[in-house]
Amino acid sequence: MTKNGSADPSRKVRQRGSIDVVDAKVAVDLATAQTYSENVFLFVPNLIGYTRIILAGLSLHFMSYHPKYCTLAYVISCLLDAVDGQAARALGQTSKFGAVLDMVTDRCTTSCLLCYLSSAYPNFALVFQFLIALDFSSHYMHMYSSLVTGSRSHKLVTSEVSRILWYYYNDSRTLFFFCAGNELFFVSLYLMKWVDTPIGLGAYSSWLAHLTWPELVAIPSAFVCAGKNIINLVQLWKASKILVGVDLAERAHAREVQAKKE
């Protein structure tokens, strides 16, 4: 206890199980010697992850000259993101490699599309660059804060830490809604550069007379995209506070150890 009667942060012990530390050389040797019957690289959800990467690569290949092929490959890659996790749980093949592969694929795929949008909409290039930076930084800091606090998954967020992140990560429907809506908005922006045929809603309103279907999809999905990036900001802020809290606890512990030596 501190002088004011509050709990000493240096003495606070996690009740949840922490990650067992494995030596890096031992881990490399285990990965090299793994058998075909239990090869993490060949787990079904990880094979789905490789498929996502191939499809994302194809979408990037077609992005500058074939919007139909590009959109089809990109959308399928994104939809498979909802399949690999279910496959992992159903088959008992969850893995740290798969979790990181999934996150890295998500970040890189979206960032590549945003890079293209930066060139397609040069007046908004700074906005797209900010979104890339926010997406990478918030997820990296959240992942790192999860590791240093002993969590086995970045999705294991308690309501005590953040009710917003808890609801976002622990409700699969909410997670899918925001992730899908976010990607849908960016894909709509991409297609707006290729589709210029109005969908014929002029009879309902003059404002809708020249509206194309990508523009129609972009309007509601823009609000979902905004919500997703607000969540990213919350994630970045909470992760920053967790890391600072860990720093303070470690410094307090170091002072306590030094005091005992003296």
Q: Is the distance from CB of 213 to CB of 206 less than 8 angstroms?
A: no
- Report the SS3 class of residue 6: coil
Residue 16 gets the label, from left (phi > 0), alpha (psi -120 to 50) or beta, of: beta
C-alpha triplet 123, 128, 134: angle, nearest 5°: 145
Distance in angstroms (rounded) separating the CA atoms of residues 191 and 198? 13
CB-side neighbour CA atoms (13 Å) of 86: 8
Per-position b or e across 117-140, b if 16+ CB within 10 A of its CB: bbebeeeeeeebeebbeebeebbe
The residues annotated as belonging to the active site are 106
Distance in angstroms (rounded) separating the CA atoms of residues 192 and 60? 17
- CA dist list (Å): 164 to 58, 115, 227, 228: 35, 29, 11, 11
Single out the residue of 181, 191, 177, 174 nearest to residue 221, CA to CA. 181
